[in-house]
Amino acid sequence: GQDAIIETIDSDDIALRCHLLDMGLTPNTEITLIKKAPLGDPMEFRLRGYELTIRKENASKIKIKDIHNTDIKPRKHYGFHEVEHAQIGESKGNNKGKQKVKEKVTFALIGNQNSGKTTLFNKLTGSNQHVGNFPGVTIQKTTGIIKQDKNATIVDLPGIYSLSPYSNEEIITRDFLLNERPDGIINIIDATNIERNLFLTMQLIELNIPIVIALNMMDEVKENKESIDINGLEDTFKVPVIPISAYKNEGLDELIEHALNIAKNDERPYKLDFCKSDNSCAPVHRCIHSIMELIENHAQQINIPVRFASTKITEGDSLILEKLELDENEIKTINHLITEMTNETELDRYASICDMRYSFIEELCSKYV
């Protein structure tokens, strides 16, 4: 029942530190302790409008200050406004008059752990599945043929929370997306925990691959007497957003219809830049765009989306930086831009990006969730 302000993540384990930041636990964020399990582990917190359960050992890495009686109120909601349905990914909408250019398509099915990904995969493919391992690693790779279209293959990728290179699952998923370049992405989201799930969605959109968002567990949202403005989300992200319940087999026909349309017509996201409407993320915005101008030719030569590459470089992703083969002067300029950003945000480079994304998600959810 008490609040505190996060001061820093104090861990020598880079992967753990980044994982905690990926969950929105950035410095200066207010966090509420809701409860502990009977034996004290795990612990449940509320932050940024959503609930998070973490192990006591990991929680011990989070330094806090200013402990006080809770003053966090329910997230301010501005009330839904009438948003016209964008008809993205519909043959009768944006694709009207277009001739489908691809007959055979491959989808990557991507989402957080426990988002209903396996259930959705099984519903879409039935018994048309093949299970194996990714080359060189013992992480399961499952492929299947979508029942509604024998020319559509779907690859079930490991459940992840981010596209950062700090776990085998994240690296495998990212390499598949960058190297195999699937024709489309089906991003499954747990609608009951939308804030946490949208963090990955923002990174997937930056890849500039046709994508459809499957908003799963909408039946639970309704049972909880909650609501999500689908048109508002679709208008913000400029990609199809389809409400479904994979377990109850609801909305799956509409999901596949939109997925096939965007993949066969190569209908990519036409908005890749997401920042909060005020100037709070201006330093991050300037840094990302300045680096984009600097690396654009390098990124094009190795077929990596420039926005994605710039964001990852800003975070400190050495694997992407190595692939771009920048010269010494370019790296020096990039380091200068990042130093300017961190001086303004008063956060390190990785935390600056995480805070930018979660600030946008908080504002989005205050309008549409």
Q: pLDDT digits over 124-166, tens only?
A: 998 777 776 666 665 777 899 999 899 999 999 999 999 988 8
Q: What integer is the mean pLDDT of 76-97?
A: 59
Which pLDDT belongs to residue 304? Answer: 93
Helix H segments across the chain? 14-22, 56-59, 117-125, 168-175, 194-206, 218-223, 230-237, 252-264, 282-301, 306-315, 318-324, 328-345, 349-368
Say which amino acid occupies 214: A
| Count of residues in the chain | 369
As a whole number of angstroms, the distance between CA 313 and CA 331 comes to 10
Whole-model pTM? Answer: 0.89
Which pLDDT belongs to residue 291? Answer: 96
As a whole number of angstroms, the distance between CA 276 and CA 290 comes to 18
| Residue 143 β-bridge partners | 130, 155
Q: What integer is the mean pLDDT of 69-95?
A: 63
Contact 252, 124 (CB under 8 A): yes
Contact 219, 67 (CB under 8 A): no
User: What is the overall mean pLDDT for the chain?
Assistant: 89
Contact 295, 326 (CB under 8 A): yes
Which pLDDT belongs to residue 96? Answer: 47
CB atoms within 10 A of CB 23: 21
Contact 334, 312 (CB under 8 A): no
- The CA-atom distances, in angstroms, between 10 and each of 14, 62, 328 are 10, 6, 32
Question: What is the tens place of the pLDDT at every residue in 15-34?
Answer: 899 999 999 999 999 999 99
Question: What is the tens place of the pLDDT at every residue in 179-211?
Answer: 999 999 999 999 999 999 999 999 999 999 999
Which pLDDT belongs to residue 208? Answer: 93
Who wins on pLDDT, 83 or 323?
A: 323
Question: What is the tens place of the pLDDT at every residue in 24-60?
Answer: 999 999 999 999 998 889 999 999 888 899 999 999 9
Which pLDDT belongs to residue 91? Answer: 61
Contacts of 317 (CB under 8 A, 6+ apart): 164, 165
State whether residue 190 is helix, strand or coil: strand
Name the residue with tokens 């004290």: 40
Written as six digits, the tokens of 58 are 């990991």
- The CA-atom distances, in angstroms, between 196 and each of 154, 184, 357 are 24, 22, 11
In this model, does residue 324 exceed pLDDT 70?
yes
For residue 268, what pLDDT band results from cuts at 50, 70 and 90?
very high
**From the CA atom positions of the chain, what is the Rg in Å?**
21
Q: What integer is the mean pLDDT of 264-280?
A: 81
Say which amino acid occupies 194: I
As a whole number of angstroms, the distance between CA 56 and CA 44 comes to 10
Q: Are strands 152-156 and 184-190 parallel, antiparallel or unpaired?
A: unpaired
